[in-house]
Chain A
Amino acid sequence: MADIDNITASVERIKAAFESHNYICSDQIATAVYLAYHLHKPILIEGPPGVGKTELAKTTSELFELPLIRLQCYEGLDEAKAIYEWKYGKQLLYTQVLKETLDEVLQGAKGFAESVNRLHEFGDIFFSEEFLEPRPLLKALRQEDGCVLLIDEVDKSDHEFESLLLEILSDFQVSIPEIGTVKAVAEPPMVFLTSNNTREISDALKRRCLHLYIPFPDQELEQRIIHARVPEIPPELQRQLVAFIQELRELDLKKVPAISETIDWARTLLLLHTESLDPKLVRDTLNVILKFQEDIINVDAEITAITNKITAAGR
């Protein structure tokens, strides 16, 4: 069991702990984790794709040694898939069993009213915990030692689903009509929600969360991230490739390369035993960082200029 209290004692400790797990975070991110833990508030993380939103939740779960429960959102996600569902098959099976043993059950019952009463007892059993299939949200509430709950890409879900989330986010409980309200067993889970901002998240949801915006990192931070993730890469190449990516982000592109792309590129270059960037090499590996043919064509013209600028700066 990780010493959570020790880790979360201060922002600096959180930062250091994240770094030991190869997640380089800014003060802002560390502060968010610190406050989320101490105030028991969910964090809504926004930012361009590939800046480590999901990774933050994953690393937190590793750090606290808590299980990560993940709910991937998509259009049409509803409570049956997110909160709970009844085990229909089991219910059906038990009804069959009941049907066969109906005589035994009703044996000795006098009159219709008593028979119905006896059957009612069974009816309640069918909608009890035994037959409840917990889905991620309910599962998260029932973890004895707490857990990290990641609700990924909440902007992809329907508007109605957001409203479903409100109860669990503000009170850490869900209401199941047949059973009642289920509250978090012990420690409320650490909740992370991520959003790519494809649509506006409702105010009600935002109000219940800490709002963390993760932008693209600056050059220095990105270099440290690359260093942590791909430690084998020579320092000069690392500087060059980060500078190159930073330049690319300035251009008008359909999809700007994110940190994950930088990491992929660093791995690619390492695999190719590169020591320094040159235009030809960049051109050959451009498809690792740019995902649209249109972008690749646009950037192609600039490659030589940018590469020269970067290699010149190193000298």
Chain B
Amino acid sequence: MERTLTNFIQALRNAEVRISTAETLDAVSVVERVGYRDRAFLKRSLSLVLPKTKEEKETFDTCFDQFFRFEDVKSQSGRGEGSDGEDGEESQGDGAGGAGGERDGLPQQQAGKKSKGKAKGKPRDRDLLADEEAEEDLGPGEMAQATSTLGKLLMANSRVELSVAMANAGEAVDVREIQVFTQKGLFARRMMDEMGLGELNREIADLKEAPQVPSRRLGQELGRRRDWLREEVRDYVERQFLLHADASGKRLREELLRKVKLSNVEHRSFRLIQEIVYKMAKRLATMHSRRKKVFKRGQLNLPRTLRNNMAYDGAIFDLHWKSVKVDRPRVFAICDVSGSVANYARFMLMFLYSLEEVMPKVRSFAFSSDLAEVTELFERNNIEDAISKVLRDYSGGSTDYGQALKDFKRNCLDDVDNRTTIIILGDARNNYGENHQEILKEMYDRAKRVIWLNPESKNAWNVGDSVMRTYGAYCHQVDECNSLMHLERVVGNLLKQQST
């Protein structure tokens, strides 16, 4: 039982619901309390313990349905037991026959021939089965008790218990190791064997020959349910294939995308990248969302202490210390959005604005030749729209860093103070224009930090029209930044430095 649960949790983790060991233990105690009988109840209960955000709950819902999906035994058998409706019986037989796999129907076939001898020996299994079902239908009435383990389970009408048994069988044959599509039949058969198909088949064969009506009726019912079970097992294997093979594939892809150069990202992967960016931003945000307070131990806040101790007759009991609140970082992002760097700018802006929770004061500027503030665009639109608008409006024209710096000086150098961090994203390829590094120096003097992120790899710097060396002299930090991993590291450091 517990293995099923841990497998389910594994599948959840695959689907990126973060579940700790403590939560697994909670889930175990929940299952002990709730049991596997009531599926909806189990789902509701587990959804309280395992997923811990709204988004995770949605993932959980789909995962649970996939993992524990099981056709309703009751409704199936209800159809089988119905006293009227030849049609129902017919179709039931058909379905069963159609579902019959390799070894299917053999014992049943024999049983049918022996007990009645009326089977016409039609060439095809399906017809034979249908005939037999129609003829042999013994109607509703009392039934004997099943004796084999699987038989009992099938007759118990508890689909959740059945699904647990199935999951256990799946575990025994290592169904999660399934790699390729073609293995599905093999695994399904192994699982049926594991669940005790042999024993059940023997029981059915015996029952069909039994003289008492209730026994024969049971045999018939069992046969029906066995075929239905076979279908289920196939579905189960299929799902396992999707669940495990799919998730590891996605993880691999994500891992790859984190490291790949952003300019090489294909357009169709943008969505995935966006997801990753949000996820990374989320993680940084949770890590740094604490309010930053630094207590300078040893410095007494005299006015406050006196005020607070007035009630104690001026005796000083309750000491208050001076504390310093560290502001959240104020970030100015200046992005080169000309053709070569545009993609990097896209993801950096995405990253910065996804961090709104911890960095509420991002102002962003875009330039290729002229520089303009685009903060407002981001306030009014959602991130993706804003980014595409920025790229549309500003990415034309050849790069001119000198002009951009001059524009920056004119527009908002006055807003830069010693709490501001300036991040410049660009390849420093100035088309042999004027550099105006004196403005950068001015920025360097005023700002808390100036960080230059260059998407080109280090050995391409200072080659050709790249003037990284000139600009680099006036930066606190110069970094190569061309993949999501780099980006995460830079922004993470930024937040960390602010918090000390």
Chain A neighbourhood of B47, CB < 8 A? 28
With CB as the reference atom, state the residue of chain A lying closest to B19.
A207
A170 to B312, CA, bound (A): 36
CB distance from B312 to the nearest CB of A (A): 5
Which residues between 340 and 359 of chain B lie within 8 Å of chain A, taking CB atoms? 357
User: Which of A53-61, A209-217, A271-279 participates in binding chain B?
Assistant: A209-217
CB distance from B251 to the nearest CB of A (A): 21
How many chain A residues have a CB neighbour from B under 8 Å? 31
Contact (Cβ within 8 A) B30 A35: yes
Partner of A31, one of B20, B48, B357: B48
Which residues between 9 and 48 of chain B lie within 8 Å of chain A, taking CB atoms? 18, 20, 22-23, 26, 29-30, 33-34, 40-41, 44-45, 47-48
Chain B neighbourhood of A41, CB < 8 A? 26
Using A88-B317, A159-B289, A200-B357 as known contacts, say yes or no to A210 and B48 having CB atoms under 8 A apart. yes
Chain B neighbourhood of A210, CB < 8 A? 48-49
With CB as the reference atom, state the residue of chain B lying closest to A85.
B318
A206 to B52, CA, bound (A): 7
Contact (Cβ within 8 A) A31 B44: yes
Number of A-B residue pairs having CB atoms within 8 Å of each other in the complex: 72
A213 to B291, CA, bound (A): 25
Q: Say whether A302 faces chain B, with CB atoms less than 8 Å apart.
A: no
Chain B neighbourhood of A28, CB < 8 A? 44, 47-48
Chain B neighbourhood of A101, CB < 8 A? none
CB distance from A33 to the nearest CB of B (A): 10
Using A31-B41, A35-B30, A39-B33 as known contacts, say yes or no to A199 and B357 having CB atoms under 8 A apart. yes
Contact (Cβ within 8 A) A160 B312: no
Chain B interface bracket (under 10, 10 to 19, 20 to 34, 35 or more): 20 to 34
Chain B neighbourhood of A75, CB < 8 A? 291
Q: Say whether B256 faces chain A, with CB atoms less than 8 Å apart.
A: no
Partner of A39, one of B30, B291, B317: B30
Would you give the 0/1 interface string for B285-321, flagging 1 where the beta carbon is closer than 8 Å to chain A? Answer: 1100111000000000000000000011101011000
CB distance from A126 to the nearest CB of B (A): 11
Chain B neighbourhood of A11, CB < 8 A? 41
Contact (Cβ within 8 A) B312 A39: no
B contact patch SS: helix
Contact (Cβ within 8 A) A213 B54: yes
Q: Say whether A158 faces chain B, with CB atoms less than 8 Å apart.
A: yes
Q: Say whether A202 faces chain B, with CB atoms less than 8 Å apart.
A: yes
A89 to B313, CA, bound (A): 9
Q: Say whether A32 faces chain B, with CB atoms less than 8 Å apart.
A: yes
A200 to B285, CA, bound (A): 8
A159 to B288, CA, bound (A): 10
Chain B neighbourhood of A211, CB < 8 A? 48-49, 51-53
Contact (Cβ within 8 A) B40 A27: yes
Chain A neighbourhood of B23, CB < 8 A? 207
A38 to B45, CA, bound (A): 12
CB distance from A169 to the nearest CB of B (A): 12
Contact (Cβ within 8 A) A213 B57: yes
A11 to B41, CA, bound (A): 9
A258 to B69, CA, bound (A): 34
Q: Say whether A284 faces chain B, with CB atoms less than 8 Å apart.
A: no
Q: Say whether A105 faces chain B, with CB atoms less than 8 Å apart.
A: no
Contact (Cβ within 8 A) A89 B312: yes
With CB as the reference atom, state the residue of chain B lying closest to A39.
B29
A27 to B22, CA, bound (A): 25
With CB as the reference atom, state the residue of chain A lying closest to B58.
A213
7 interchain pairs, CB-CB under 8 A: A11-B41, A27-B44, A28-B44, A35-B30, A35-B45, A207-B52, A210-B49
* Interfacial residues, chain A to chain B (CB-CB below 8 A): 11, 27-28, 31-32, 35, 38-39, 41, 43-44, 46, 75, 88-89, 91-92, 158-160, 199-200, 202-203, 206-208, 210-213
Closest A-B pairs by Cβ, 6 of them: A159-B290, A210-B48, A206-B52, A31-B44, A211-B52, A200-B286
Given contacts A28-B48, A211-B48, 7 further A-B pairs with CB under 8 A are A28-B47, A35-B34, A38-B33, A91-B317, A92-B312, A159-B290, A210-B48
